[in-house]
Amino acid sequence: MKSYIKGMGTYVPDRIVTNDDLAKRFDTSDEWIRQRTGIEERRYAEEGIGTSDLAKEAAVRAAADAGIEIEQIDFIILGTLSPDHHFPGTACYLQPKLELAGVPCLDIRQQCTGWVYGMTLADSLIKTGPYQNILLVGSEVHSHALHFDDAGRDVTVIFGDGAGAAIVSPAPEGSERGVLAHALHADGRHADRLCYRLFDISRIPLADAEYLESVENAWPYMEGRHVFKEAVVRMPEVVREVLASTGHTIDDIDLLVPHQANLRINEYVVSSLGIAPEKVINNIQRFGNTTAASIPIALDEARRNGQVSQGDLVCLVAFGAGFTWGAVTLRL
């Protein structure tokens, strides 16, 4: 038995925030942001809108695209870096919004690699369990926690809000469509190079006001150069690994969907793999880094604009905090 993507849906907020908009709030410029990240604009959710709200909209669209009713969803997997609450999981907030009481819910906190990890899990659940329509969604509302000042600039310019979802189901008997292989990795020795320390409640008492007010803990910490160096090695490496496991080569790929963290990273990965640029989708220019949502948003866009078609060989690849990385090959 194979699992396949039966349908997809995307939802991004209406509000567009350009680089020039950010330049009015702290010391930056359109040129500075484009040169370092490739980003031109991103979307921000309105006040009071949370991650589960965006996830709901993407889920409804994915179900409609799959030709199923919402009540036919029998498992929910949600990947996010920006949960509605520290606990419980955001999937448990999404579930009642979809009126799916009783359906099992699971959050994946693998940040940028969340959707690749989630796709691997959904595939395994289809193969071993009774599930017919698994909702896999990546959703992020970063904008509410960003710092719009010079100190927070390097992080703030990168992130945007959005959600992407898929319905993962058993592939029709005899169909070539479906997940062919996946490979996942992690190296926790690098965990502190990309992290967020504000809620280290297992080590630092919440009553420690000095810690909570510390500037260095107020936003995500990132050693950008180190992240870049690891990403441009690990992403091509895992793409080759997952292709080799199915007997395919780079030339066989119809579409590469990399996580949209930084356009410069993706350009380096494309060059390293030797894949034609027209076989790669990049939309970070318009959406920024939407973390767990970036791969489904990009894949759904490629489907809708005709860059990829049913039956094409697709490779999804991501690298993120942890460090974690992984890839999935599938016939769309």
The predicted-structure confidence for 58-102, as pLDDT tens digits, reads as follows 999 999 999 999 999 999 999 999 999 989 999 999 999 999 999
- Cis bond upstream, residue 88 (ω within 30): yes
Q: Which CATH number fits domain 3-170: 3.40.50.1980, 1.10.287.110, 3.40.50.300, 3.40.47.10?
A: 3.40.47.10
Alpha-carbon distance 152 to 141, whole Å? 17
Of 115-124, 174-183, 194-203, where does mean pLDDT reach its minimum? Answer: 194-203
Of 99-103, 141-145, 216-220, 277-281, where does mean pLDDT reach its minimum? Answer: 216-220
The rounded mean pLDDT for the chain is 93
In contact, 39 and 285? CB cutoff 8 Å:
yes
pLDDT for 202 beyond 70: no
Residues of the chain with CATH 3.40.47.10: 3-170, 178-331
The class level of CATH for 178-331 reads: alpha beta
Specify the pLDDT at position 323: 96
pLDDT: which is higher, 217 or 324: 324
Alpha-carbon distance 100 to 94, whole Å? 9
Backbone Cα Rg of the chain: 19
Alpha-carbon distance 37 to 326, whole Å? 22
Q: For the whole model, what pTM was predicted?
A: 0.95
In contact, 28 and 152? CB cutoff 8 Å:
no
Is 190 one of the catalytic residues? no
Specify the pLDDT at position 90: 97
Is 147 one of the catalytic residues? no
Dihedral Cα 52, 57, 60, 65, nearest 10 deg: -130
Alpha-carbon distance 221 to 214, whole Å? 13
Catalytic residue among 19, 112, 133, 262: 112
Is 305 one of the catalytic residues? no
Catalytic residue among 19, 133, 259, 315: 259
In contact, 131 and 123? CB cutoff 8 Å:
no
* Residue 256 exposed, middle or buried by CB count within 10 Å (0-12, 13-18, 19+): buried
